[in-house]
Amino acid sequence: RAKEEGRNRWTVFDASMRDAVRERVEIEVALRAAVAQEQLSIAYQPIVELPTGRLAGVEALVRWEHPVRGWLGPNMFIAVAEDSNLISALGAWVLRESVRQLARWRADGVVDDDFWMSVNVSPRQLGDAAFAERLAAVLQQAGVPAANLVLEITESVMVEGSELTERVLVELRTLGVRISVDDFGTGFSALGYLRRHPVTGVKIDRSFVKGLGTSTEDEEIVRAVVAMSSALRLSVVAEGVETEAQRDVLVTLGVPLAQGWLWGKAVPPDEFAARWSLGGVGERVAARSD
């Protein structure tokens, strides 16, 4: 049989393509049910001030316990959700749930008044004319000020976004919600984009953080982003900080905020509160052991 497949490579190709399509359809069907039944969950990763390590905010990262495959990260299913129209319902749920979580932490005194929640939004969500209005209702219902919410958008929103998307971004800013450009530096946006769009911050992609301490090139890139952000009055968060050496370079370069395994991975809300409540400086030893 192997010999036969070797002779006819198209057979092999067709079979693997068919498997890929089948797997995708299978994920889509299960995801549709999970979204409808609210079976997703959210893990929370701390964002800290540099150099103190004091808790400043948190990023909400969606997780899914697949009935057969077990826990899946967003890289396994966000693209499927985007291609199948599920992203609106999924994204709306993540926003509602994370804003409610923020309200609970504020009420319980786990976090202070300035603490913010960062939530990833897909380009598709921002192409919905009623997005800002519905988000305003979510915030009001939870009693959370708009300024305590940061939406993380992709560079593609600035580059390829429609007039409608642009209007939604302006409405969000009018509400007081902050807007940060995620994975900054990996897309095709230029400096001018940051000025033309109503964004309030950037998150330096972890690919540029990786080489800090060993690559002068990465260091120069981060230096340039810091200079640009200060000129445009944008906030800066460095992503994917794993080592003390990386952190030390970020401190030297004047990066004010950071996120990464050095302080903690994304964890369920109870675990987050247990580690970080009272705004305490996270114990780095504990943070590194997970």
Per CB under 6 A, does 260 bind ligand C2E? yes
Q: Which of 32, 145, 254, 261 binds ligand C2E (CB under 6 A)?
A: 261
Q: Which two tokens stand for residue 166?
A: 């642009």
Per CB under 6 A, does 182 bind ligand C2E? yes
Q: Which of 2, 68, 75, 270 binds ligand C2E (CB under 6 A)?
A: 75
Per CB under 6 A, does 183 bind ligand C2E? yes
Between CA 58 and CA 101 the distance in angstroms is 11
Binding-site partner at residue 266 among ligand C2E, Mg ion, none, CB < 5 to 8 Å by type: ligand C2E
At closest approach, how far in Å is the CB of 79 from ligand C2E? 9
Binding-site partner at residue 242 among Mg ion, ligand C2E, none, CB < 5 to 8 Å by type: ligand C2E
Per CB under 6 A, does 145 bind ligand C2E? no
Per CB under 6 A, does 187 bind ligand C2E? no
Span from 78-86, 195-203, 217-225, 257-265 in contact with Mg ion (CB under 5 A): 195-203
Q: Which of 97, 155, 171, 182 binds Mg ion (CB under 5 A)?
A: 182
Residue for token digits 């709306």? 92
State the DSSP code for 238. E
Where b means 16+ CB within 10 Å and e means fewer, 109-145 reads ebbeeebbbbbbbbbbbbebeebbeebbebbeebebe
Between CA 54 and CA 32 the distance in angstroms is 39
Between CA 222 and CA 82 the distance in angstroms is 31
